[in-house]
Amino acid sequence: MKLKMKEHFLPTDYEQLMTTSKPLSTSNFRTSIHVNGGDNTQPTSNVAHQNGNKGKNSMSNGDRKVDATPLCFKCGGHGHYAVVCPTKGLHFCVEEPESELESYPKEEETYNEDEVSEECDYYDGRLCTMIIDGGSSLNIASQELVEKLNLKIERHPNPFRVAWVNDTSIPVSFRCFVTFLFGKDFEESVWCEVLPIKVSHILLGRPWLFDRKVQHDGYENTYALIHNGRKKILRPMKEVPPIKKSDENAQPKKLLTMCQFENESKETKVIFALMAQKVEEFKEQDKEYPANARKILDDFSDLWPVELPNELPPMRDIQHAIDLIPGASLPNLPAYRMNPTEHAELKRQVDELLTKGFIRESLSPCGVPALLTPKKDGSWRMCVDSRAINKITIKYRFPIPRLDDMLDMMVGSVIFSKIDIRSGYHQIRIRPGDEWKTSFKTKDGLYEWLVMPFGLTNAPSTFMRIMTQVLKPFIGRFVVVYFDDILIYSRSCEDHEEHLKQVMRTLRAEKFYINLKKCTFMSPSVVFLGFVVSSKGVETDPEKIKAIVDWPVPTNIHEVRSFHGMATFYRRFIRNFNSIMAPITECMKPSLFIWTKAANKAFEEIKSKMVNPFSPRPEIEYVFYDQLVSTRQGGYQKFLVKWRGKPHSENTWITTTDFQKINPDLYELYQASNSSEPSSFKPGRIDGGKSFKVYSRKKGKT
C-alpha cells in the first residue's frame, strides 16, 4: 500500500469527518477517510477509490449525482476549485494490486531456512570482513585484500571515477572476480571493483542485491535470499570468530573487564599497575658505551622520552618576557597562502601543538603569519614570522659565551660528555600575561603560545639565561653551556662519573628533557660547535673538510670576502695566518678586482692547512716563557706571544691610546719592554701572579 501525502502538515483547527460502513481493512479498503480543515463545513465530497480496477469510481452517501463542473484536483470533489478547497489536509490511501515476488516463496511452497552472519566471510580458508550496503552503487574489493590474497585483477572495460562524500573522486581502473563463503556452505562469486577502502575487505552494494533478488528486513536488520532451493538469512555478526593462531602453544592474553577488576581489587590488598610506554632503544653505536656509562643512563632513563610530555613545563624563576615599546602600533598581518599539501601539514602540526597544550586559541588584537620551512630530512618545520612583533620589542642583552673562552676551559681534560636538550625552547614558559603577544595566524584560526617559540627576538637570551642559572654551580668547573648544548669535561673517569650524575640530577629536578640521539657520553673526544675537542687539543670537524676542499676560486670581491671570513674562523689552527693571507687580503680593497698568482698560491695553501688543522690549548697553570715583540706594519700593532714554545700572533688595528684603555696590563708590559729607564711593572698582575720572562729586541731589557 502506498500512502500519498497531499499536504505535509495539518491546520491547527482541523476536524475529521469519517463515513464508514465497516471496520477499516488494508485487504478490502472501500471506506472513505475525509480530513477536513477549516470552518467551511460543506457537505463531504465523493472521494475516488481504486479497488483493483483502475479508472472506476464509486460514490459514497448514496448514488447522488453531482455536477461535473467545476472539478477540484485536490480532493476530487465537485462544485469548487483546488485553490479554495476546504479539504487542504486531505490524506487518503490507494490500494494497488498485489504483485508476486519471484525471490520469495509462495504460501504453498516451503523452504528450509539457514541463518548466516553477514559481516564475515571466508576466502581460501581465510577470514575476511564484509559489509552489505544498499546505498552503494558498486561491489567493491579492497586493495589490501587483493594484495594480500594475490587476487588476479584485470583492467576495467569501462573505466570511470567514483565521487566520495567529501567532494573528492577516485578513478576505477581495475576489477577482480571474487569467490567467498558465507558460513560453511553458502558460496558466492561476484565481480568487484578494486578500490583502496579501509572499512572492510569486501563491500556488496546494489548490483549484488539486485542480481540475487535480496530482500531486506529493516526491523530485524537481516537480508534474505534463495540459494540452491534454500532460504538464506544473513544476520549481523555479533562476535568475531576466533582466528586460528600460527602458534598452537601460544597463551591468550588475560584481560579483565571493569567488573572483574573491581572485584579483584576488593579481594586483593596490593595491586600493581603496568603502563606500556614506548622507550627509545639504544643504537648500534650506543653499545660502545662503557658499563659505568650504561648504568648512569639506566638510572636516568626518564630524562629522554620519545617526545615531550603532553603538558606544560613547570613555571620556573625565569620565563620569557615580551616587553613592547610604549606607544608602538600592534601588527596585524594576514595568513600566508599555501598549497593544499602545505596547509594540511601546517594544520597537522597546529593540532599536535594544541594536543600537547603548547598553544591555545587566542583573542589577541595582534597577529603574525605562520609558515613552513623544509628540514634536511625532507620534513617540514612550523615557524612563525615574528619580524613585525620583534621590531616593537625591547631588546635584552644577556651575554653569549665566547667559543674560544669555552675551549680554553677544557685544558687538561681527557674525557667528555655532551648533552643536547630536546626542543629546548618549548621547555620554557611564556611569562603569564604575555601570551597574547605571541599570537600567530593560519587559515584555520588565531593561536597564541604558552611556551617559548622560535623566532622571537629575546628567545636566545632567555634560553641562555635560564641554562646559566640552572647549571651555574658547575659552569667553569666541569661544565660549559652553549644554548641547548651542555659539555661536561673531566680529568679522570671517576670524576667524570660524579660530574655526569650531578648534571643529570639537576636536569631531573628542573624537569629538562634531553635528546638521546644527539648525546655523547664518556668519550675521549667529542664534536662541539663544529670542532673536535679531545685531550690533544682542538681540531676541525671532519665533516666540514669536504666543503673547504671543494671551495671554488673566487671570481669577485664578494667571493673573496666569503672565503676570508671562513678562513678567519679557523685562524687559530694555522701558523703565520696573517702572512699567508696577506695576498688575499689585498684583493679585498675597494678597487679593481685582480686575482693574482700570489693570491691563488695563498688560496691553495690556506685550504691545505685547514684540512688537517690542530691547535693545542695552553696550560695556563704552568710557568712558561713569553716573548713580546712590537713592530709597526701598515698602521697597526703586532704582538707575538710564545706559549710553551708555540707562537701566537694577533694584529690589532687600534691606536696606542685605545690599546692603553682596552688592556692596560699588557700595555704597561709593552711600555716596560721598550723603555730605557727602569720600570716599576709588577709581573704578578698578569697570569694570576705566575712568574715569567719577557724578551725584547733591545739588548739588556729582560
Write the DSSP assignment of 499-535 as a string of letters.
Answer: HHHHHHHHHHHHT--B-GGG-EEEESEEEETTEEEES
Per-residue confidence (pLDDT) for residue 27, from 0 to 100: 39
pLDDT at residue 652 in the model: 46
> How far is Cα 223 from Cα 235, in angstroms, rounded to an integer?
7
- 3-state SS class at 203: strand
**CA gap 337, 473 in Å, rounded:** 49
Is cis: bond before 331, omega within 30 of 0?
no
**In angstroms, what CA-CA distances link 246 with 79, 190, 240, 250, 671?**
83, 30, 18, 9, 91
Q: Which residues contact 349 (CB under 8 A, 6 or more apart)?
A: 380, 382
| Strand order, beta sheet including 485-490 | 479-482, 485-490, 415-420, 520-523
pLDDT value at position 238? Answer: 59
pLDDT of residue 429: 96
Predicted pLDDT of residue 283: 47
- Taking Cα atoms as reference points, which of 647, 618, 641 lies closest to residue 628? 641
Burial class (CB in 10 A: 0-12, 13-18, 19+), 52: exposed
Report the run of H or E that residue 487 belongs to, with start and end.
strand 485-490
pLDDT tens-digit readout, 550-574 = 888 888 888 888 888 888 877 777 8
Alpha helices in 202-243 (DSSP H): 206-211
Nearest to 573 by CA among 537, 545, 603: 537
Burial class (CB in 10 A: 0-12, 13-18, 19+), 74: middle
Can you tell me which residue has the cell 590488598? 269
Nearest to 241 by CA among 131, 114, 116: 116
Instruction: Say how many Å lie between the first and final Cα of the chain, rounded.
Output: 125
Measured distance CA(303)–CA(292) in Å, rounded:
18
Per DSSP, which regions of 276-432 are E strands? 359-361, 368-374, 380-384, 415-420
Please report where in the chains the cell 584560526 appears, as a residue: 445
Q: How far apart are CA 379 and CA 373, in angstroms?
A: 9
With b for 16 or more beta-carbon neighbours within 10 A and e for fewer, the 656-678 pattern comes to eeebeeebeebbbbbebbeeeee
Question: 47: buried, middle or exposed (CB in 10 Å: 19+, 13-18, 0-12)?
Answer: buried
232's grid cell: 538464506
Question: What's the CA angle centered on 232, arms 230 and 234, to 5 degrees?
Answer: 175
CB 448 within 8 A of CB 433: no
Distant-in-sequence, close-in-space partners of 388: CB < 8 Å, separation ≥ 6: 331, 333, 368
Alpha-carbon distance 35 to 559, whole Å?
A: 96
| Domains contained in the chain, CATH given | 1-99 (no CATH), 113-235 (2.40.70.10), 340-534 (3.30.70.270), 539-612 (3.30.70.270), 626-695 (no CATH)
Report which residue type is found at 154.
Answer: E
pLDDT at 323 (0 to 100): 95
pLDDT < 50 stretches in the chain: 1-68, 88-112, 114-119, 243-248, 250, 280-287, 620-646, 648-654, 676-691, 696-702
Q: Please report the pLDDT score of residue 565 as a whole number.
A: 86
d(CA 241, CA 184): 13
Q: What is the C-alpha to C-alpha distance for residues 180 and 184, in angstroms, rounded to an integer?
A: 10
Q: Are 236 and 119 in contact (CB under 8 A)?
A: yes
C-alpha 401: how far from chain center: 33
**Residues 647, 629: Cα–Cα separation, whole Å:** 11
Structural element, H or E, at residue 186: strand 186-195
Q: What are 335-339's contacts with CB under 8 Å, separation 24+? A: 335/369, 335/370, 335/441, 335/442, 335/443, 336/369, 336/370, 336/371, 336/385, 338/372, 338/443
Between strands 380-384 and 368-374, the pairing is: antiparallel
Determine the Cα angle at 593 with ends 592 and 596, to 5°.
Answer: 125
pLDDT tens per residue, range 382-400 = 999 999 999 999 999 899 9
Return the number of other C-beta atoms located less than 10 Å from residue 446's C-beta: 15
pLDDT at 284: 40
- Residue 513, C-beta contacts closer than 8 angstroms, at least 6 positions apart: 303, 304, 305, 308, 309, 421, 422, 427
